[in-house]
Amino acid sequence: MKVDLLLAEKPSAAKAIARALGNSQQKRFERKVLYYIVDNDKYVCSAVGHLFTLYPKDSERGHYPKWDYMWVPTYSANPRVSYAKGYLDCLKTITSQFNFDRYIIATDFDPEGTVIGFITFIALKVSMEKAYRMKMHSLAKDEVLRAYNNLEPPDYPWFRAGLARHQTDVLYGINLTEIFSDAIAKVRGRRKTVSLGRVQTPTLKFVVDREREIRSFVPKPYWNVLLKFEFQGLEYVAKYVSGDVFDKNVVQQILERCKGMTTAKIVKVEKTIVETHTPTLFNLPMLQQEAFYKLGFSPDYTDKLAQSLYQQALITYPRTGSTAIWTGVPYKKVLDNLEKETTYAEYVHEIKENNFQPHKRGISDGAHVALSPTGEPYTPKTSNEAKLLDLIKRRFLAVFFPPLKRQKTEITLDVNGEPFKIAGEKTIDLGWLNPYTYRKVTDFILPELQ
């Protein structure tokens, strides 16, 4: 009988993987750290994020540039993560007691997760010839089983990409921070550590440049010329055709020409049908933006909620660049599961009755599916997680619906040679706004004029 060791990225992921792989689960503790034995042939263990970190060989302050680094346990470099020692000791004990047939990296399917798996197995002196990669898009049972039954060789390109990022971060961060902090100390007479980094410093420059633009902006006065008129007992407001007027003399001329006029001539009535395309599925930046405007969640908070939902097997991997629905995603099963929820049942019924198919718009990053619900029947841990999950589910349902269709009416009026325009809209078909209730449209219906 072959025996496997699976390394998950976090304890919650290990729990979900163990739950998905088999009915017989034994919970064991080693060094007070929980791991699982599934069907007697699969040991599911967990890291707790990074168990190792890059650290300079010469850590003395004032010696720079520092070019040489080594991988050390995170708890030895940072006492605040002392809890990581128990997880590393647990893995050391298990791998020393058993000679496994396969060592499976079951961390998050991204360069960071790949680095965690590789560095941990290398430090444990695991033979990489026995190493495999589980490529999961979610922690839902069917997806975990699919990935386990289709193991792939270790993904060395992602490992090298992840290593390059870590090395660059350390080279920039440690050296520039020390150089800049020492420079400040020479000027101020006392040392103050100022953190610089590969990402944070250029980002800070963008923020500073934008703030300078805002502070240096000089507003320019302008006027809007509006025409109020009554028709069939209702009052309407039309705007001057050219929009904002920056010359006060021109405003005075317009007012003089319109002064005393009691009627307006209808010059043109134009009606057009406007369709708003169905949105794509979310990637992480799009989810963060929508959650900020619709739920009031900060981008960082949304990221944490999405990660938690992923670890609970409720959504696919959140840090994706894809926005197009993948044919590999079992969306029909997701629809079937959503149909069992009262909140979404009517929308799924409409999709099935009309044989709506998901639109193919959007992009694929080639690695991850777009952010989608898994359809698993678990309840989120918190109310805010439930709100974010509802946003994701409704966006998923919206992808199946037709475009929003509205009729736009524009009426051009003439008052003594001065043109004014008024516009109205009315909804013909809500389309994808039916399930996606986070977007609203307001009708402004104009009278039938000719």
CATH number for the domain that contains residue 360: 1.10.290.10
Q: What is the pTM of this model?
A: 0.82
CA 361/CA 351 separation, integer angstroms: 18
Clarify whether residues 319 and 424 are in a common domain: no
Segments forming the whole domain that contains residue 136 = 4-162
Task: Decide if 372 is inside a domain.
Answer: yes
Within 364-436, residue ranges assigned H as helices are 383-398
**Could you say which residues of the chain have pLDDT below 50?**
none
Clarify whether residues 17 and 105 are in a common domain: yes
Q: What is the pLDDT of residue 71?
A: 92
| Edge-to-edge order in the sheet of strand 42-46 | 25-30, 33-38, 42-46, 4-8, 102-105, 131-133
Task: Decide if 323 is inside a domain.
Answer: yes
Q: What is the pLDDT of residue 327?
A: 65
Task: Decide if 66 is inside a domain.
Answer: yes
CATH code: domain of residue 10: 3.40.50.140
Centroid of chain to Cα 216: 33
CA 278/CA 296 separation, integer angstroms: 23
CA 50/CA 64 separation, integer angstroms: 26
Query: Which letter does DSSP use for residue 431 in this model?
Result: G
- With the C-alpha atoms ordered 412, 414, 420, 426, is the resulting torsion angle positive or negative? negative
* Length of the chain measured in residues: 450
DSSP states of 389-422: HHHHHHHHHHTTSPPEEEEEEEEEEEETTEEEEE
The C-alpha torsion from 395 through 401 and 403 to 407, rounded to 10°, is: -110
Clarify whether residues 425 and 358 are in a common domain: no
Among 162, 187, 207, give the residue marking a domain's end: 162
CA 18/CA 6 separation, integer angstroms: 9
Could you give the number of structural domains in the chain?
3
Q: Which helix (H) or strand (E) is 203 found in, with range?
A: helix 200-216
Clarify whether residues 18 and 128 are in a common domain: yes
Query: Which letter does DSSP use for residue 80 in this model?
Result: G
Clarify whether residues 92 and 238 are in a common domain: no
Task: Decide if 172 is inside a domain.
Answer: no
Clarify whether residues 110 and 29 are in a common domain: yes
Task: Decide if 173 is inside a domain.
Answer: no
Among 108, 143, 162, give the residue marking a domain's end: 162
Q: Is 134 helix (H, G, I), strand (E, B) or coil?
A: coil
Clarify whether residues 339 and 239 are in a common domain: no
CA 248/CA 208 separation, integer angstroms: 35
Clarify whether residues 237 and 263 are in a common domain: yes
CATH code: domain of residue 256: 2.70.20.10
Residues 27 and 20: beta-carbon distance below 8 Å:
no
| Edge-to-edge order in the sheet of strand 234-240 | 226-231, 234-240, 418-429, 404-415, 265-276
Clarify whether residues 297 and 393 are in a common domain: yes
Catalytic residue positions, numbered: 317
Nearest Cα neighbor of 149 from 113, 94, 110, 102 is 102
Q: What is the pLDDT of residue 367?
A: 75
Per DSSP (E only), the strands in 141-277 are 226-231, 234-240, 265-276
Residues 445 and 424: beta-carbon distance below 8 Å:
yes
Clarify whether residues 387 and 424 are in a common domain: no
CA 269/CA 345 separation, integer angstroms: 42
